[in-house]
Amino acid sequence: MRCSPSSMLNLLRTGRLRSCSRRGRSRLPLWLRKIWLYLKLLVRSLCFNSLTDSDVVFDSIFEPVFWTVDYVTRWFGLVFVCLVVILTSSIVLIAYIVLLPLVLNTYSPPWIAWHICYGHWNLIMIAFHYYKAAKTSPGYPPTEKNDRPFVSVCKKCIMPKPARTHHCGICNRCILKMDHHCPWLNNCVGHLNHRYFFSFCLFMTLGCVYCSISGRNLFLDAYNALETNFQTAAPPYTFKDRMIHKSIIYMWVLTSTVGVALGALTVWHAVLISKGETSIERHMNKKERQRLAAWGKVYRNPFHYGKLNNWKIFFGVEKNSHWVTRVLLPSGHPPHGDGLTWDIFPVRKDLIPV
């Protein structure tokens, strides 16, 4: 039997590798080899599944960080709620104790009637919608067996997930039509309380803008008075006057800051409602559009029924008078649908003709 040079070279290489592996095995103890093989298995498991991508690896690495944030948010939710109540109550007290006497003494009767009516209407709408948003359940999928259609199974709850349902790590359960978890409400924003949350943001923004605009001249007078007081040797104002000036400055700065920040959030949610999306679906639809664009296709949101119809569905407007009774006045009516099944229209049409 004739041996070629290449076959001899392969035999030499194989023998060398086996001898090196035997020497390596003889040097490492068995328990160290087991640990080393286990670590190699863990590293390879990150890339074992063909569906594994950078998002999965990122979530796995930062899972302790996410868990810490969820834990802190869950236990500090009551603190955030108390902070909202305290700050709002302080503005109301300043309005009644400081601003109302000034309005009654300096404004004309029509302006007095306007400020009293609008201010109290805005306050009632803020208090009503904040209470309902914080205390109303966002809506949960059924836990018992049923014949309702579902789109997937939750990896955390191991339960069927209806369309537009997502798992909240802070509440530790699935939420129907979940938008986000709001720490200022200590509650999730979902199918049953999404309208209350948006209405609270809207009327709180309107209230802050109202206070900022109507109190601008009072703020300038109070600021100039304090500046003059600091520059002179003898204080020309009493302690009561200085406290009034500081209260006006505090009210104007707080309402202006909250008005800008909350106003931007309100505009963002208004854009999402116009497109028939939630905050979570915004990111999902963006990824889906990019994925289909690579295939030369166009993705259309199946829950987008047209801008006006989206608003009518969101507010539950079924007839023209509901724009007043259900939007401009406090209303506890339930949302459209049960949150478990959704109508999908390839062609936009009026779901609720008005």
- Residue 110 forms part of a structural domain: yes
Per the structure, the complete domain to which residue 313 belongs is given by 82-138+192-328
- Residue 150 forms part of a structural domain: no
DSSP calls for 153-199: E-TTT-SEE-TT-EEETTTTEEETT--EEETTTTEEE-TTTHHHHHH
134's tokens:
């914080």
- Residue 21 forms part of a structural domain: no
Burial environment of residue 117 by CB neighbours within 10 A (0 to 12, 13 to 18, 19 or more): exposed
> What does the pLDDT read at residue 262?
96
The total domain count for the chain is 1
Burial environment of residue 297 by CB neighbours within 10 A (0 to 12, 13 to 18, 19 or more): exposed
Whether 94 and 248 have beta carbons less than 8 Å apart is answered as yes
Query: Does the annotation mark 20 as catalytic?
Result: no
- Residue 338 forms part of a structural domain: no
Burial environment of residue 105 by CB neighbours within 10 A (0 to 12, 13 to 18, 19 or more): exposed
What does each of the 354 residues of the chain score in pLDDT, given as a tens digit? 444 445 544 544 555 555 554 554 557 788 888 888 888 888 877 666 666 667 767 777 777 777 777 777 777 888 999 999 999 999 999 999 998 888 888 889 999 999 999 999 999 999 999 999 999 999 999 888 777 778 888 888 888 889 999 999 888 889 999 999 999 999 999 999 999 999 999 999 999 999 999 988 889 888 888 776 555 555 567 778 888 889 999 999 999 999 999 999 999 999 999 999 999 999 999 999 999 899 998 888 889 988 999 999 999 998 999 999 999 999 999 998 888 888 875 444 555 555
- Residue 226 forms part of a structural domain: yes
> What does the pLDDT read at residue 33?
87
3-class DSSP assignment, residue 152: strand
- Residue 221 forms part of a structural domain: yes
Residues in Cβ contact with 208 at an 8 Å cutoff, skipping those fewer than 6 apart: 255, 256, 258, 259, 262, 263
What pTM does this model have? 0.78
236's tokens:
């020309």
CA dist 117 to 106, 201, 328, Å? 17, 20, 14
- Residue 347 forms part of a structural domain: no
Closest CA relative to residue 152, chosen from 170, 171, 167: 167
* Catalytic pick among 182, 188, 208, 211: 182
> What does the pLDDT read at residue 349?
52
3-class DSSP assignment, residue 1: coil
Whether 262 and 208 have beta carbons less than 8 Å apart is answered as yes
- Residue 322 forms part of a structural domain: yes
Q: Tell me how far apart the alpha carbons of residues 218 and 76 are, in angstroms, rounded to a whole number.
A: 36
